[in-house]
Copies of this chain bind each other. A is one copy, B any other.
Amino acid sequence: MASRQAVKAVLIDLSGTLHIENTAVPGAQDALKRLRQTTVALKFVTNTTKESKKNLLERLQRLNFNLQEKEIFTSLSAARSLLEQKQYRPLLMVEDSALEDFNGIDTSEPNSVVVGLAPDHFNYETLNKAFRMILNGAPLIAIHKARYYKRLDGLALGPGPFVMGLEYATGCTATVVGKPENTFFAQALSDLGCSPNEAVMIGDDARDDVGGAQAIGMIGILVRTGKYREGDENTINPPPHLTCDSFPEAVEHILMNLL
Contact = CB atoms under 8 A, between A and B. Distances in A.
Interface of A: 119-120, 122-125, 127-128, 131-132, 135, 147-148, 154-158, 160-162, 164-166, 168-171
A149 B162 CA distance: 18
Q: Do most interface residues of chain A lie in helix, strand or loop, or is the interface mixed?
A: helix
A169 to B, nearest CB: 4
Contacts of A170: 147
Contacts of A171: 147
Contacts of A157: 124, 127-128, 131, 165, 169
Contacts of A161: 127, 131, 164-166, 168-169
Contacts of A119: 124-125
A171 B164 CA distance: 13
B135 A155 contact: yes
**Which one of A123, A135, A168 has the highest number of Cβ atoms from chain B below 10 Å of its Cβ?**
A168
Contacts of A148: 131, 169
Would you list the 9 A-B pairs with minimal beta carbon distance, nearest first?
A161-B165, A119-B124, A165-B165, A161-B169, A164-B168, A122-B124, A147-B169, A123-B123, A161-B168
Contacts of A164: 161, 164-165, 168
Nearest to A235: B171
Contacts of A160: 165, 168-169
A246 to B, nearest CB: 23
Nearest to A154: B132
A240 B130 CA distance: 31
A160 B164 CA distance: 11
A171 B132 CA distance: 27
Given A122-B123, A123-B122, A123-B123, A156 B168 contact: no
**Which one of A125, A148, A171 has the highest number of Cβ atoms from chain B below 10 Å of its Cβ?**
A148
A123 to B, nearest CB: 5
Contacts of A125: 119
Contact of A122 (B127, B135, B147, B155): B127
